Amino acid sequence: MMHGRNNGKKLMVVRIVKHAMEIIHLLTYANPIQIIVDAIINSGPREDATRIGSAGVVRRQAVDISPLRRVNKAFWFLTTGARESAFRNIKTIAECLADELINAAKGSSNR
């Protein structure tokens, strides 16, 4: 929750995650922590492209991603998706976050 009016509100994020975990438990009857772990594993990128340039010629080269960057990018993808789906929507951000996590854990791309 780093953008705009939500910047720096840690208690709000804790409340959102708590409600999202309750929604996950009600919808899946599974352990919410395991759903979050599966979502992070499934949504993290495995490789990235970097710029390699010599003598004024720049080309993109595929490289593997370190495990920590993979986890960080997975968190960023999940939170950005939840925030964008909750914007101008009747659903709360906790419901959108729960939907993002459940779909990412299943490997589904449903909205």
Residue 111 lies in a domain: no
What does the pLDDT profile of the chain (111 residues) look like in tens digits? 567 777 888 899 999 999 999 999 999 999 999 999 999 999 999 999 999 888 788 889 999 999 999 999 999 999 999 999 999 999 999 999 999 999 999 998 776
Residue 8 lies in a domain: yes
Residue with tokens 């370190």: 66
User: In 10 A of CB 106, how many CB atoms?
Assistant: 14
State the DSSP string of the chain.
Answer: --SGGGTT-HHHHHHHHHHHHHHHHHHH-S-HHHHHHHHHHHHS-SEEEEEEEETTEEEEEEEE--HHHHHHHHHHHHHHHHHHHHTT-SS-HHHHHHHHHHHHHHT----
- Domain with residue 88: its CATH number is 1.10.455.10
Q: How many whole angstroms separate alpha carbon 12 and alpha carbon 98?
A: 16
Question: Which residues span the domain enclosing 89?
Answer: 4-106
Number of domains in the chain: 1
